[in-house]
Amino acid sequence: MMEDKAAVRKEGKREWCGMTDEPNILIFEKNRSGKRTTGYVPSPSSEAKRLIPDSLARKKDAIFPEVSEREIVQHFLRLSQKNFSVDTHFYPLGSCTMKYNPKINEEIANHPSFTGLHPYQPEESVQGILRIFWELEEWLKGVTGMDRFSLQPAAGAHGELVGMMIARAYHDSRRDFARRQVIVPDSSHGTNPASAAFYGFEVITIPSDPRGRVNLAELAKAVSEKTACLMMTNPNTLGLFEDDILKIQKMMHEKGALLYYDGANMNALLGIARPGDMGFDMIHLNLHKTFSTPHGGGGPGAGPVGVKKALEKFLPVPLVTRKGDRYGLDDDLPDSIGRVKAFYGNAGILLRAYVYMRRLGKEGLEQVSRDAVLSANYLKKNLQSALEIPHGGFCMHEFVASSEPLKRFGVTAGNIGKRLLDYGIHAPTVYFPLIVKEALMVEPTETESKETLDRFCEVIRKIVRESEADPECLKNAPHCFPVSHPDEVKAAREPLLTYRAFLGRQDRRDRSDLVSGISF
């Protein structure tokens, strides 16, 4: 089996991949009548049966596959290993900061002294966690140069929405009701225009200049007394530092508009540069990206929003307060935009970020950014000969390559992303930002070894060679997984998450008799 897999890696032939023939993807396919586990099989006591009302009780017994305990363990353990994860694979997914998350964060966040807290406990009995919130806010203020933070928002996009609410509240408080436009660069993350539009702003998109930065002439044309806010990220989504930021902030402030900083990806700036010093009025941070909480797959996040002094009074309630050595929660802020999340935000994520920052300290955080930028530049330089890299020069924590030249072999960025899986590497972000054709957005992060980065370059070069020599191999990739090419539109519109999804496949249909009589 191992040999076969190695051969696939070399040659990229599906039929050589022993793993794809692995039988019995579903445990029901392992069903053989008469097989039993020797372990404990729960059956409801008569007492339990009595407690369930007839109307809710099963009419027929539940159907379980008949399998041995050994098969169950093997089956579920194997399934769990089919995942790609930060802990198992290189995961250079741009704009997502898939860095290694230190396990001590988990241990502390899962400690009963925290997990046992209840949000309705009186303040005197939760002084510890309130102090952590307070200190976390101090750290975030230090890193960003903002004056006050709300820890409530549950994600980056949620933070953006809060930012838009604050922008509206600020202009309305000045009776400046005409400001209903939000400007975004065309390289912006999709959530930026979406958040602005969702809150009723008109979105004005301005094109980037040939250097991939905000086009100042276009910005000057777009800004007016109708502008509520400019939403930007710096470094931008091309991984480039907006070196005209001081001019940009001046242009906006002179026109009475605010500047919102999308700080989802702070991995390049920690301890080096601060959005507050660049002139931004508001920011959200993605604690689940930069500050190391496992994310992806829709798990909980945290997108604290920080503001400059003039906007403090609009922040969501409650804010964490300190009087002497007592900590509390302040609900009584008449100009606040109100509550945006139940209780105090996603406390477990806040706790992880706090542990991460405390453990690294100021110097450690700065080293994170220096290493993240170094890794990205190392890859960018080494991949220049293999892929097209439209925006040259130094990058920050990520960069965007293009596989446009491989189009002549019919190979797309999506194909490359899928082929990388065969080599045990998660795909970079593909087709984003939209302004680069066949975009591959690569963010290595600071936690990868030089050996991993070197291997990534080697694999990319190999794939580029494959594009010419055997484009079919790329178009049909990945070859080493049970499912390789779901119809992406159909999978999103008509998700079939039950056994039936597999019955459509010929090799499964042949075995469907095994489960005949079982309805799902």
Query: Whose Cβ is closer to ligand PLP: residue 44's or residue 190's?
Result: 190
Query: Whose Cβ is closer to ligand PLP: residue 137's or residue 160's?
Result: 160
Residue 243 beta carbon to ligand PLP: minimum distance, rounded to whole angstroms: 19
Residue 446 beta carbon to ligand PLP: minimum distance, rounded to whole angstroms: 17
Strand partners, 285: 263
Query: Whose Cβ is closer to ligand PLP: residue 232's or residue 474's?
Result: 232
C-alpha–C-alpha distance, residues 288 and 154, integer Å: 10
Query: Whose Cβ is closer to ligand PLP: residue 304's or residue 478's?
Result: 304
* One-letter amino acid for residue 39 of the chain: G
Query: Whose Cβ is closer to ligand PLP: residue 157's or residue 365's?
Result: 157
Nearest to 460 by CA among 514, 400, 379: 379
Q: Mutual orientation of helices 450-469 and 347-383 as an angle, nearest 10°? A: 60
Residue 253 beta carbon to ligand PLP: minimum distance, rounded to whole angstroms: 23
Query: Whose Cβ is closer to ligand PLP: residue 20's or residue 290's?
Result: 290
Strand partners, 388: 402
Residue 429 beta carbon to ligand PLP: minimum distance, rounded to whole angstroms: 9
Residue 289 beta carbon to ligand PLP: minimum distance, rounded to whole angstroms: 6
E strand or H helix at 169, and its extent?
helix 156-173
Q: Would you tell me how many other CB atoms lie within 10 Å of the CB of residue 303?
A: 30
- Residue nearest to ligand PLP according to CB distances in the complex: 156
- Report the residue count for the chain: 520
Residue 201 beta carbon to ligand PLP: minimum distance, rounded to whole angstroms: 17
The residue to which tokens 């920690």 are assigned: 270
Residue 304 beta carbon to ligand PLP: minimum distance, rounded to whole angstroms: 11
Q: Would you tell me how many other CB atoms lie within 10 Å of the CB of residue 392?
A: 11
C-alpha–C-alpha distance, residues 333 and 313, integer Å: 7
Query: Whose Cβ is closer to ligand PLP: residue 278's or residue 477's?
Result: 278
C-alpha–C-alpha distance, residues 168 and 179, integer Å: 8
Query: Whose Cβ is closer to ligand PLP: residue 20's or residue 195's?
Result: 195
Rounded (10°) CA dihedral 145, 147, 152, 156: -30
3 state SS of 258: strand
E strand or H helix at 229, and its extent?
strand 227-232
Residue 376 beta carbon to ligand PLP: minimum distance, rounded to whole angstroms: 15
Nearest to 436 by CA among 283, 236, 265, 269: 236
Residues that bind ligand PLP (CB under 6 A): 95, 155-157, 189, 191, 233, 262, 264-265, 286, 301, 303
Cα–chain center distance at 369: 18
